[in-house]
Amino acid sequence: MEAILQSLGIMESNQEEKDKNNENNNIMKELDNGSQMLVSNFYPQCPEPNLTLGMHPHSDYGFLTLLLQDEVEGLQIQFKDKWVTVQPIPNAFVVNVGDHLEIYSNGKYKSVLHRVLVNEARSRVSVATLYSLPFNCTVKPSPKLIDEANPKRYMDTDFGSFLAYVSTRETKKKDFLESRKLIHT
Ligand SMILES: O=C(O)CCC(=O)C(=O)O
Ligand SMILES: [Fe+2]
């Protein structure tokens, strides 16, 4: 997260400057005490994999997802309107950008749309951990990234609004994020 904040130009790489800067301290403190959701997925082998999906296209709730997949292929991300398989690399995590980072960065980082295919020959297991602010915090675009040339692109968002959304609609694609957009491009 520090590297991401530096890349957005809202956190200094130098410790003295970091200490001076309150917004960085706040967001890093909030993330230190943040929420973590762990999701374990088991995809049984499927005799007709072309007829179904292991998981529908979606983007993840949170800032970052660390995902551990086993050696069986299945995860795909959408890149330039095509589905691209994320090849499993032994002992490596996949790091996905989630909706909250897209909101916080005011759209500079894009949350990644992904889906999971099933496999005819083998079952597959993955473990995803979604990291974000504490559940009672509001996620909003960083004030440092908003000015006349870059208006605020997303509504303030909290866990309540997410729960209200998922309880009324089936989550597919980046629907929740779409519902928080102030500017549609
Ligand atoms: O099984 C996978 O590789 C991805 C799982 C996933 O996208 C999720 O749990 O949100
Ligand atoms: Fe996911």
Does the C-beta of 112 come closer than 6 Å to ligand 1? Answer: no
Residue 174 has pLDDT above 80, yes or no: no
At residue 10, the pLDDT reads 83
Q: Which of 41, 112, 117 gets mutated to test ligand 1 (max ligand atoms within 8 A of its CB)?
A: 41
The DSSP-derived string for 118-130 is: --SS--EEEEEEE
Ligand 1 pocket check for 111: Cβ under 6 Å: no
Predicted ipTM beyond 0.85: yes
- Determine if ligand 1 sits within 6 Å of the CB of residue 31: no
Residue indicated by tokens 């009672």: 136
Is the confidence at residue 16, as pLDDT, over 90? no
Residue 28 resides in a domain? no
Residue 155 lies in a domain: yes
Q: Do the beta carbons of residue 69 and residue 124 sit within 8 Å?
A: yes
For the segment 67-109, what is each residue's pLDDT rounded down to a tens digit?
999 999 999 999 999 999 999 999 999 999 999 999 999 999 9
Residue 117 lies in a domain: yes
> Does 7 reside within a domain?
no
**The overall pTM is greater than 0.90:** no
Quote the percentage of the chain above a pLDDT of 70: 87
- Probe residue for ligand 1, chosen from 113, 126, 166, 173 as the CB with the greatest number of ligand atoms within 8 Å: 126
CATH of the domain at 59: 2.60.120.330
CB-hemisphere CA count at 13 Å for 16? 0
Q: Is 82 domain-assigned? A: yes
Q: Kindly list the distances between the CA atom of residue 110 and the CA atoms of 60, 76, 114, 172, in Å, as whole numbers in the listed order.
A: 11, 16, 12, 17
Give the chain's mean pLDDT.
89
Residue spans of beta strands (DSSP E) within 30-122: 35-43, 55-58, 64-69, 75-79, 82-85, 94-97, 114-116
Considering the domain boundaries, does residue 17 fall inside one?
no
pLDDT at 183: 83
For atom 10 of ligand 1, the residue with the nearest CA is 60
- What are 127-165's pLDDT values in tens digits? 999 999 998 899 999 999 999 999 999 999 888 887 777
Q: Which ligand is nearest to the CA of 39?
A: 1
The pLDDT of residue 65: 97
Does the residue 24 lie in any domain?
A: no
The number of distinct structural domains making up the chain is 1
Domain that residue 153 falls in: 36-180
